[in-house]
Structure 1
Amino acid sequence: MTISQTSPAPEHPGAAADSAVAAILAATVHPAPGAPRGVVVDSPPGAGKSTLVVRAARELVAGGEKLMIVAQTNSQVDDLVGRLAEKGPDLTIGRLHASDGKPAAELSRYANVTAAAKVGDLLEQDVVISTAAKWQWVKTEARWRHAIVDEAYQMRSDALLAVAGLFDRALFVGDPGQLDPFTVVGTDQWAGLSYDPSSSAVVTLLAHNPEIRPHRLPVSWRLPYSAAPLISAAFYPYTPFRSGTGPDDRRLTTGTAPDGSALDAAIDEAAEHGWALLELPARHTVRTDPQAVAATAATVHRLLTRGLTAHSEQGSTPLTADRIAVGTAHRDQAAAVRAALLRLGVPVDGSVGPAVTVDTANRLQGREYDVTVVLHPLSGRPDATAFHLETGRLCVLASRHRHACIVVARAGIPELLDEHPATEPVQLGVTMKFPDGWEANHAVLAQLNEHRVQLR
């Protein structure tokens, strides 16, 4: 008699996510005796980092705790304050800001939010939120028992050292696949040392506390079924994740028929498959390549004029300008795309009403759109520098979308990668980052090549 063996059905994504969150909250709110003082959570793009932070904060406060939250930018702080105020109207929230700065104006509509430049004016609040740059100047006689550090992989270890004396325990939440902390100061003298101030807060924390075992959020609720396998394999090979949606849960439909142009062909390809590569002829160009910039702007303009509709588990909504983003590697490229869009009559960030977001990968981190148009960092370049090959930069650009991503690039990038092998010096004690820029770029290009539309 033959006994057939079948593999167990995969756990439902919602159940897998709930199980992971429950374990994280238990370790944070009810730590076991002798447990490490830090809880680290690795999260892929769109896995619900902010939702986890809000839920952990509410449960800590419900247990009688007051806590501080550290974010990395003022926009992140304002976003968290708004989320907490909406999800926890029973909480009192303090928004600590710089003496010469003000929080976002929309926060004034929340009755449970108090803003102040001095922490002494906020000590009675359940939660106090500010940037790491502001927290490092705070002096208090009593420490907080609990802290939450949001986007912890964007935080440099020297910033963590500056605020670590303010709390006893902390929950660190971040995305290990995104851009590393940035510094303009040379750091070669610290390379390989466990206290390298340019390393991320999490890397240094784990180096000094090997008993900490990071938790992992296993599901991306942002990335569609078409994108999660590629992003997981290319950028998170050791911490794989999956999409929270199935192959038929999200669709893009067009309101008008294609006109036969390459732009419309790329839009239709992206609408059907989630990816499209709009490829220009191979050529070495200046960084603000006029043809690539024009193609990027024209693609966005055509996305809006064709009347697309985004269908998802959240319902069906028209694809408006505020649900589209353009990602670039450099600020001057972003400025060139903005100017090209304005010439086409497309509103861009800063305009009144719904507007297309145009920005660099650094500033698009943590943000989400229905459709993104990406100017490839290596398009038209004569060389492949460490900046343009940084894995996190490509990861951010390729993982902001809920429905589709259209990449604009000149042909010849695979050949460029093969002609420029790694030349960075090998330093003792420095853990090699994997996958490296070559590996990740080749993986992404192999996928995009199946959805290539040539623009002549």
Structure 2
Amino acid sequence: MTAPAVSDVVADAIEQLQSGPHRGVVLDSPPGAGKSRAVVRTAVHLAAAGESVRVVAQTNAQVDELVRRIAETAPGIVVGRYTARDYLPPDWLRRQGILIRQQLRDLAGVPIVVATAAKWLDPVVEQRGPWAVIDEAYQMRSDTLLRLEMIFERALFVGDPGQLDPFSVVNVERWTGLPWDPMQSAVAAMLANNPTIKTLQLPYSWRLSPSAAAPVSAAFYPHVPFESAPEQGPRRMWLPTRGFGSVHDHAIEQATESGWAYFELPARHTLRTDAEAVQHVAALAVRSLERGATVQSQEQPDGTVLRPDRIAIGAAHRDQVAAIKDELTRTGHRSIRVDTANRLQGAEFDVVVVLHPLSGRRDATAFHLESGRLCVLTSRHRHACIVVGRAGIAELLDTHPSVDPVPLNTKPKFPDGWEANHAMLEHLMRHRIRAA
């Protein structure tokens, strides 16, 4: 498939949305495939034809980014940012052409209105609109879609099927397998009730390089494979300064050369906030900045030095995130973003350092084997991903095989988390740097 096919897929999705036999159209997007571009293009296309479009995202950060991109793509089209009373949009969003309002009636007649799903559920939204574009649709719960359905006639659902499903802090097993299971994703529920809907897929990742797209696709998208987008021009990362020969330098050099590094600590069962692992995760991020890592791509053809806001650290738990932030504060690098996989979904960085979800554990729970969690953590980078983990993860996986029963009336989840973790670990072991 050639590069123009990407535009063809989006055009096909728009045509299906406007004249197809179904009220819903699904557009799957692997990591970095241009999901936001598809959302923006669809909204602008409909608005340019004189239609009213409601754009739905899952978080305020996603909404703000979509508003910005729509305004930049079509400066002649007024964009409305429908927001809650207690939310303060960033200053950069307060620009001409963007109306920020807390009441939907104040956005009457605005061609494109963007808000979170929670805001669109406001009881004052009584009038059904003709079109909706739902971003990160796999993160939306089915009960949210059921309540949201009243605001549109037809909708395009755009999202990444390989990332994390909706989650809840309460026990939801009582609903598993039922047609009204609220913990299904909006897309899963819609397809279950409309089996004739054909899913479209964006074919390329513009974020992941060939060396990154191949293992991520094989591990997390075995049934819907994708490739790195062709004809992107040069993409490389280099270190203009010599290292001191430390183990951190070796890991960073390995990641610079191949795009991957697996920093393996000695086997040990640890607390979740493994102090030694936390120190190494923070040190690897800081050392990447100290070495003056420089990246070159189509967006930066002359090369640019890695900035703190272009490097991120990902972990599975909030207490791990808090411990890493404390370590970065101690070293004076508070501007490096540290977050959980759930909150890193949709974000993109040049370099990402990951604390492996199974590092130092005695068991492998369903939470830690969730394929979407590791998929998010290992697919946020454009140039390099460094994974930190303790030896023994392969043995841990082998002693905790995936034997969870498949409830009646549910489809088995693909890829299986156990298989996905094994596949990614096998790839990482080719780039292993032992800490001791």
TM-score class, shorter-chain normalisation, is over 0.9
Secondary structure at the aligned position of 2:210 is classed as coil
Paired residue for 1:127? Answer: 112
Candidates 388, 412, 415, aligned match of 2:392: 412
Match of residue 4 from structure 2: 15
For the 8 Å contact 2:9–2:201, the answer to whether it is kept is yes
Quote the offset at 1:247 in angstroms. Answer: 10
Matches within 5 A, 1:231-250: 231-245=216-230, 249-250=234-235
* 1:38-117 mapped onto 2 (5 Å cutoff): 38-108=24-94, 110-117=95-102
Find the counterpart in structure 2 of residue 4 from structure 1.
none
Paired residues of 2:402 and 2:417 also in contact (CA < 8 A): no
CA distance in 1, matches of 2:407, 2:254: 44
Please give the alpha-carbon distance, in whole angstroms, between the structure 2 residues aligned to 1:77 and 1:426: 36
Which residue matches 1:26?
A: 15
Shift of 1:345: 2.0
Aligned match of 2:127:
142
Structure 2 residue corresponding to 1:272, chosen from 252, 257, 266:
257
CA offsets per residue over residues 416-435 of structure 1, 9 Å max, x none?
00111235343111111121
In structure 1, the gaps of 5 or more residues are: 1-10, 349-354
Distance 1:372 1:140, change over 3 A: closer
Which of 215, 222, 244 in structure 2 is aligned with 1:230? Answer: 215
**Alpha-carbon distance in 1 for matches of 2:304, 2:151:** 45
The aligned residue for residue 318 of structure 2 is 331
Residue deviations 1:278-322 (CA, integer Å, cap 9, x gap): 000000000110110011111111101111110112211111111
Paired residues for 1:47-446 under 5 Å: 47-108=33-94, 110-140=95-125, 142-245=127-230, 249-314=234-299, 315=301, 316-346=303-333, 348=334, 355-446=335-426
Structure 1 Cα separation of the partners of residues 126 and 178 of structure 2 = 32
- How far residue 400 of structure 1 moved from its aligned partner, in angstroms, is 0.1
Q: Deviations over 1:259-286 (max 9, x none)?
A: 2111111111111111100000000000
Q: TM-score, normalised by structure 1?
A: 0.93
1:248 Cα deviation from its structure 2 partner = 7.9
Question: In the aligned structure 2, how far is the partner of 1:250 from the partner of 1:99?
Answer: 43
Q: Deviation of residue 374 (structure 1)?
A: 0.3
- Tell me the SS of whatever aligns to 2:278: helix
Structure 2 counterpart SS, 1:227: helix
Could you say which residue in structure 2 is the equivalent of 1:8? none
Deviations 1:15-49 (A, max 9, x none): 23122222122222x414xx101110010000001
Change (3 A) 1:282 1:116: same
- 2: CA distance between counterparts of 1:313 and 1:247? 6
Look up the match of 1:6: none
Distance 2:363 2:393 in 1: 10
- CA shift at 1:185, angstroms? 2.9
* 1:343 maps to amino acid: R
**Match in the other structure for 1:3:** none
CA distance in 1, matches of 2:106, 2:360: 54
Unaligned runs of 5+ in 2: none
Amino acid at match of 1:93: V
Identity %: 55
Check whether the contact 1:373–1:408 (CA below 8 A) recurs between aligned residues.
Answer: yes
Give the counterpart letter for 1:294 in structure 2: Q
Matched residues in 2 for 1:216 and 1:435: separation?
17
Shift of 1:136: 1.1
Amino acid at match of 2:85: S
Deviation at 1:382, TM superposition (A): 0.7
Distance 1:361 1:304 in 2: 22
Asked if the contact 2:126/2:151 (under 8 Å) is kept, the reply is no
Structure 2 length normalisation: TM-score? 0.97
Q: For residues 269 and 247 of structure 1, what CA distance do their matches in structure 2 show? A: 23
Question: Structure 2: which amino acid aligns with 1:19?
Answer: D
Asked if the contact 1:27/1:39 (under 8 Å) is kept, the reply is yes
Q: Please report the RMSD computed on the Cα atoms of aligned residues, expressed in angstroms.
A: 1.4
Partner secondary structure for residue 384 of structure 1: coil
Contact 1:95 1:103 in 2 (8 A): no
Moved over 6 A (4+): none
Matched to 1:18, the amino acid is S
Partner Cα distance (2:237, 2:131) in 1: 44
